[in-house]
Structure 1
Amino acid sequence: MAARQARAVAAAGPWPDVSGPCHPDSGSVLHPNARILIFAKAPIPGQVKTRLIPALGPAGAAELACDLLDRLVRRLSGARLAPVELWCSPDPEHPIFLDLAESAGVALRTQRGEDLGERLSAAAEDALGRADAVLLVGADIPVLDADYCASALEALADSDAVLGPAEDGGYVLLGMKAPAPSLFKDMPWGGDRVAAITRRRIASLGWRCAELPTLWDLDRPEDLLRYRRLDVDWGDARRRAGRVED
């Protein structure tokens, strides 16, 4: 019943931006004039973590996506570094998003744009209308923690941008203090040149860029062993609210 209701609700869109009832007052965090933007797709089987489906199956890949998102949101919101915003696709009405708004106090916003670059650019521009600095992060980085984001925010005090590279050639974090659509346009997302191209484009803007240590994200079957070594229970987030739907 819940799954059918959620699908009916999603079909009715479009959705306004909403905030959880316990969204923290920006004055209660260490960097009230910054925003941490987490980008996530609803964990619908067959639509998320598709490269892991051969190893986990559609439901298993969706369960893993749910767990990764849950843990990341709680790590970053609990640290109270800066207000955390969860940028949702296709809309904020999936049960995991609604639960995180209520229980972790994050604001929910809707991703807008035809491709990932447009969605990242639009979100950064939107948030920079309310903040002096933003960090853009994905939801599939098991080892990205509050200390990493704290280092990024500290780096932005003396830099125009901060880049957190990924082992696969992409990036796990991008921080900036001004909108820059050129950083996202016509990017070969998912390829191994994303970080290198981003560095060149940042330099072409005349920006000072700080760089953080390289991290790994969980995209490929060979990454699963590393995740298992973290000794986490994949089903913990799903069991709390039954949020992986058919």
Structure 2
Amino acid sequence: MTTRRPAEARPAVTVLVVAKEPVPGRVKTRLTPPFTPAQAAAVAEAAIADTLTAVSGLARIPGLGAVRPVLVLDGAAGPWLRVPVEVVPQAAGPFDVRLAAAFDAVSGPALLIGMDTPQVTPALLADACRALGRADAVFGPAADGGWWALGLRRPDGGLLRGVATSRPDTGARQRDRLTRAGLRVATLPVLRDVDTCADADAVARLVPHGRFAAAVRGVTGGATAATQALVTR
């Protein structure tokens, strides 16, 4: 008679949300003008809220396993942070160093996303978490040439340090770094980052019932962000 070994529990995936405190004049500066700094900050706050809501939705997906959401924050938490979440400070230094440090602080599988894709869904994040059980890394390319998600089964900040950010080829460089390290990389769908007014308008149309879309409508009065930009010139 043979006894069946119990299946090993899947290790918890840490979902790192890298964000900046929505302080007017410090966030979403490419939206100003036509947005005022305060309006841009309100849009950023809503983007963070929708992103964290999507991450919290992972807990309701059957069979996914344990997930640990962490907000890696540049700034201070406050009343603006309305979604309960563990908060840790970002490291000092250039952005690639900050991202690398976030991974280095995690001991198990980790998925890192930012605050610029409020259209992300629990289902898409769940697919990324599951992919970490099959691949060494998951990579979510952004429409502007960057990336919106990066997951590592075995976190190693050295895979990010030195990869220049905010460039049209940042995504290609980061993926090349992964493949050169011999990692098997699973690819996620392309998403559009919110950097400009046109981006804000396009993403708000994708998720019209979210807080992000409501914040954009609150600024534009129902007009598209692109139209509002033309009107205020």
Question: What's the counterpart of residue 73 of structure 2?
Answer: 88
Question: CA–CA distance in 2 between the matches of 1:136 and 1:228?
Answer: 22
How many Å apart are 1:154 and its aligned residue?
1.2
Structure 2 CA distance, aligned partners of 1:158 and 1:147? 17
1:138-160 Cα distance to aligned partner (Å, 9 max, x none): 01102211111111111111111
Quote the Cα distance in structure 1 between the aligned partners of 2:127 and 2:27. Answer: 29
Deviation at 1:228, TM superposition (A): 3.7
1:32–1:83 CA contact under 8 A, matched in 2: no
What are the within-5 Å matches in structure 2 for residues 148-227 of structure 1?
148-227=124-203
Q: Could you give the per-residue CA deviations for residues 49-95 of structure 1, whole angstroms, max 9, x where no partner exists?
A: 010111211011000000010111112113316121111112x4333
Q: Which amino acid aligns with 1:143?
A: Q
* Pair 1:119–1:144, CA change in 2 (3 A): same
Task: State yes or no: 1:100 paired with 2:76.
Answer: no
User: Which letter does structure 2 place at the counterpart of 1:87?
Assistant: V
Residue type at the aligned position of 1:205? A
Aligned to 2:115: 139
Q: Secondary structure at the match of 2:35?
A: helix
CA contact (8 A) 1:182 1:201 kept: no
Equivalent residue of 1:60, what SS?
helix
Give structure 1 stretches of 5+ with no counterpart.
Answer: 1-29, 237-246
Q: For residues 31 and 85 of structure 1, what CA distance do their matches in structure 2 show?
A: 19
CA distance in 2, matches of 1:32, 1:205: 23
Given the two structures, how large is their TM-score scaled by the length of structure 1?
0.75
Identity of counterpart residues, as a percentage? 32
- Separation in 2 of the partners of 1:209 and 1:228? 30
After superposition, residues 27-66 of structure 1 pair within 5 angstroms as 33-66=12-45
Rounded Cα–Cα distance in structure 1 between residues aligned with 2:18 and 2:99? 8
In the TM superposition, what whole-angstrom CA distance separates every residue of 1:178-206 from its partner, at most 9, and x where no partner exists? 23333322222111111100111111111
- Could you say if the C-alpha distance between residues 214 and 184 of structure 1 is closer, same or farther in structure 2, counting changes exceeding 3 Å? same
Within the alignment, does 1:234 sit opposite 2:219 as a pair? Answer: no
Q: 1:31 Cα deviation (Å)? A: 6.3
Conserved? CA contact 2:146–2:167, under 8 Å: yes
Matched, 1:123 2:102: yes
When the two chains are superposed, the root-mean-square deviation of aligned CA atoms in Å is 2.1
Q: Which moved more, 1:185-194 or 1:132-141?
A: 185-194
Unaligned runs of 5+ in 2: 1-8, 218-233
Paired positions, count:
199
Whole-angstrom CA distance in 1 between matches of 2:131 and 2:36: 40
Q: Is the 8 A contact 2:138 2:152 kept in 1?
A: yes
TM-score by length of 2: 0.79
Q: Which residue of structure 2 lines up, in the alignment, with residue 20 of structure 1?
A: none
SS at match of 1:83: strand
Following superposition, which runs of at least 4 residues in structure 1 exceed 4 angstroms of deviation? Answer: none
- The structure with more radius of gyration: 2
